[in-house]
Amino acid sequence: MSWDIIFQPEHLAMYGNGLLTTLWLLISSLAIGCILALLGAIALTSGNLVLEKIVGAFTYFVRGTPLLIQVYLIYYGLAQLEWIQTRWDDVWPWTHFKEPFFCAFLAFTLNTAGYTAEMLAGAIRETNPGEVEAARAIGMSRWQIMLRIVLPSALRRTLPPYCNEAVMMLHSTSLASVVPALTDVTAVASRIYSDYYLPFEAYLAAAVIYLCVTFALIGFFRLLEKRFLAYLAPRTH
């Protein structure tokens, strides 16, 4: 094994830059994806047939196609359309489609939004009917019930499955390496492998980085669960 090549300063710097790209892609896609998922979950449970069909079709497409295909469709498909390319330089938002990071970010955001919307919608539907009836009895409007009763309860119950979604999104960021000029952790490992023919060392180093970030992410969500789901823990007297 040639670990001395992996630990050379320039290669460690490459892994560091790749880690920053991976984390920025993960955090930004999860943040915007959560907002879209919240709106999507409200639409799925709104009772409006048109909204439910539109959002439902989107979530079915997201969950029914591989994320890699979605990345290809946006970067090699949508971003390469002549109609969009002619507007790269002067028409918003098409100006962003010439950026590899934005294309990957858009694919990851839409993917996590679709999965998270279904999780939130399921949690909203499982809200105790007694809580809703009690809120109506004291004169709350439909939106007050949603904002003060249903959503806080649903968001808490969604934390455990959303932890799995966040971890899966972290692992899925490795697919961003298929986008040229986007240097994430996996892309760095692939470059070192191609330059020095060190597949084991290069990809094992990447695996250790992903493993450390995964442990940190799980620990963060465990703290959130301990804080917001404490009322569900068995009580000892």
Whole-number pLDDT of residue 234? 54
Q: What is the pLDDT of residues 187-204, one digit of tens each?
A: 999 998 888 888 888 999
Residue 231's pLDDT band (cuts 50, 70, 90): low
Whole-number pLDDT of residue 128? 84
Whole-number pLDDT of residue 36? 95
Higher-pLDDT residue of 6, 191: 191
**Span 8-33, average pLDDT:** 93
How is domain 3-232 classified at the CATH fold level? MetI-like fold (1.10.3720)
Q: What is the pLDDT of residues 124-168, one digit of tens each?
A: 988 888 888 888 888 888 888 888 888 888 888 898 899 999 999
Domain locations in the chain as residue ranges: 3-232
CB 118 within 8 A of CB 198: no
Least reliable range by pLDDT among 103-107, 188-192, 228-232: 228-232
Residue 132: burial class (beta carbons within 10 Å; 0-12, 13-18, 19+): middle
Closest CA to 17 of 182, 229, 195, 200: 182
CB 106 within 8 A of CB 50: no
Helix axes 151-172 and 199-228, enclosed angle (nearest 10): 170
Residue 66's pLDDT band (cuts 50, 70, 90): very high
